[in-house]
Every structure is written in structure tokens, then in C-alpha cells.
Amino acid sequence: MDCTGKILGSKNGFDILECTVCGYAHSFPYPDPSLIEKVYSEEYYSDVKPDYIKRMEEDLDWWNINYDQRYDILEDNLGKRGSILDVGSGTGYFLKRGVDRGWDCTGFEPSKDASQYSIQTLGLNVINDFFNEESVRDIGLFDAIHMSQVLEHIPNPKELLHNSWAKLKENGILCISVPNDYNPFQLILRDSMGYPAWWESPPHHLNYFNMESLKKMMIDCFFKPIKSTVTFPIDIFLMMGKNYIDDDDLGRQCHNMRMEFEKQLNKAGKNNLKNNLYDSFSELGIGRELIVFGRKISA
């Protein structure tokens, strides 16, 4: 494809191109696919995210509040609890929550470590593979597909959406979550406060979405967006002077504060207030991750 557009930044030998052909910003060139396969099948959780499983376990009550919000939206729009496929299911805790709520759950996870954990420790139905046309041929159709923190990592996000479309039942729902990069807080930090563009991280993050470009890609792939929101704008701590970049302890403290904020809202029965607040952030382009639900429409 003849990718072209404004260069937003450069790092690790890659440019980040605001590509007018693809419709979203991405690394240029894309790294070699064999490098990507190696990272996610062998090294990701041991080298890139060594404390990931331990921290998931510690933070599980907070994760479950967030997972419940996604399942609530799916159940409201499907009118039932059905079957769900989680692409890039990681340790499996999203699916575990689904099983506990009565969903029929399947996962695809390329990492050996993470998929083994989800199968052996959580007892889930997870396939240790990448989600592609070949690997999904015989797995049937689903009411819902979830993919959290996946599309930013791969060189062919539209292909993944096409494969998802093919694996959803009629009127099925796709839920996507990706980082919200080049967001207004990040640009203030970079342009006015002297921060580097720390979110630019090829070859790990290859694609960089905002709400508009994510929705456009979904529409291009025959999904009608039916609900969109964001997660807590964690970069607000940087603007308040807490420079957690490259400081894992401080990063953990900021994460704990945002968890506490959300857990207190939950405990007070004010999840609606939280949801309305984050929907308003979303209107302003603010929020650390984008979450969009799209319904399958005919191609």
C-alpha cells in the first residue's frame, strides 16, 4: 500500500505517519512480521511486562468493575448472555469474569506463558495462537468479540477486523479498546511542558488511533459504532507534576489513586456518574484508552 501523510514523530528507526491512505496513524515502515510473531509468542509477558500476572491478581477487584461495565453494555445490546471470543485474551481474567456471569467463553492468546496461565490456573478455553483466517477456520460463530490492547500492536488491523466480522453472528457486537494517543493532554505535555512523546513506541505500538480514526476504521470494515467511551485520563497526573514515566513506583502510585477513585464511585453505587464523566471526557478527546462497541452490519 502507498502509505503517505504527515510525519508525527520518529523513534527506534521508524516514523509515525498520519496516514491518509489507511485513515489512522501508524509506524512506517512496519517492522518485519516475523519479529512481531516472536515478541508476542515468546517474550512479551516475560520481558516486556514481567510483573503483569502478579499485578493483575492484586488489582483484580478493580479490573472486574471495568470488565462488568463491558459485559453490561454487551448484554444490554444483545439482550442476552451469549458466546464471546476474546482476541489477545492475556491472562484470561476478562473471560473468567464472563464465565462467572454465565457467558460461553473462548480466547485466542499467542503468548505461551499467558495462555498456559489462563488454561491451567483459571481453567479457561483458550487457544495458544494468533487470531487469523487459518487458526479460526473451525471455531464457529460468536455473539460478541472483544479485543483489548491488540490493534495497536499489529501491522494489519483491518485484516483482523475483517476476520472478526466473519466470525460474528448476524447483529453480533465487536468491542475494541486501544490507547488514545496524541490526545490533548499528551500534546500539552510534549509541546508546552518539555516531555518527550513517550507514547510513541514502535516496534511495540505500530498503530495510533483517536476516536475518529478508530470509528472510521470500524465503519470501513462494516461495524456500526453503537457506544463509545474512554478510560481514566491517567496522563492528568503528569500534568499535576507526577512524572511517572520511567518511574515504575510512582507509576504504580498513580495507578493506585485512579483505582481508588473508581472503586469509591463503585462502592457508592455511582458507576453511572463515572460513566457519564468518562463519556464527557470522550467528547473532548481526553482519556487514556478508547473503548468502542460496534454492531456487525451487512457488507
Minimum distance from CB of 24 to Zn ion (Å)?
A: 8
Q: Which stretch binds Zn ion (CB under 5 A): 2-10, 166-174, 221-229, 249-257?
A: 2-10
Q: For Zn ion, which is the closer residue by CB, 5 or 88? A: 5
28 in Cβ contact with 15 (< 8 Å): yes
Minimum distance from CB of 170 to Zn ion (Å)?
A: 31
Residues 238-257 that bind Zn ion (CB under 5 A): none
107 in Cβ contact with 118 (< 8 Å): yes
Cα angle at 288 between 285 and 294, to 5 degrees?
70
Do the bridges between strand 142-148 and strand 83-87 make them parallel or antiparallel, or are there none, so unpaired? parallel
Minimum distance from CB of 271 to Zn ion (Å)?
A: 38
In order, the DSSP letters of 208-238 are EB-HHHHHHHHHHTTEEEEEEEE---TTHHH
Minimum distance from CB of 281 to Zn ion (Å)?
A: 28
Minimum distance from CB of 187 to Zn ion (Å)?
A: 22
Q: For Zn ion, which is the closer residue by CB, 126 or 217? A: 217
Q: For Zn ion, which is the closer residue by CB, 16 or 175? A: 16
Q: For Zn ion, which is the closer residue by CB, 109 or 181? A: 181
Binding string to Zn ion for residues 10 to 39, with x set by CB under 5 A, is what? ---------x-xx-----------------
105 in Cβ contact with 126 (< 8 Å): no
In order, the DSSP letters of 9-75 are EEETTEEEEEETTTSSEEEESPPPHHHHHHIIIIIIIIII-TTHHHHHHHTHHHHHHHHHHHHHHHH
User: Should residue 217 be labelled a site residue for Zn ion when binding is judged by CB under 5 A?
Assistant: no
Q: For Zn ion, which is the closer residue by CB, 19 or 211? A: 19
Q: For Zn ion, which is the closer residue by CB, 86 or 152? A: 152
Binding string to Zn ion for residues 51 to 80, with x set by CB under 5 A, is what? ------------------------------
Is the bond preceding 50 in cis, omega lying within 30 degrees of 0? no
Q: For Zn ion, which is the closer residue by CB, 19 or 254? A: 19
Ordered alpha helix ranges (H), 124-247? 157-167, 184-191, 211-220, 236-239
Minimum distance from CB of 297 to Zn ion (Å)?
A: 24
Minimum distance from CB of 28 to Zn ion (Å)?
A: 7
Plot region of 149 (φ>0 → left; ψ -120 to 50 → alpha; else → beta)? left
**169 alpha carbon, distance to own chain's centre:** 22
Interacting residues toward Zn ion by CB under 5 A: 3, 19, 21-22
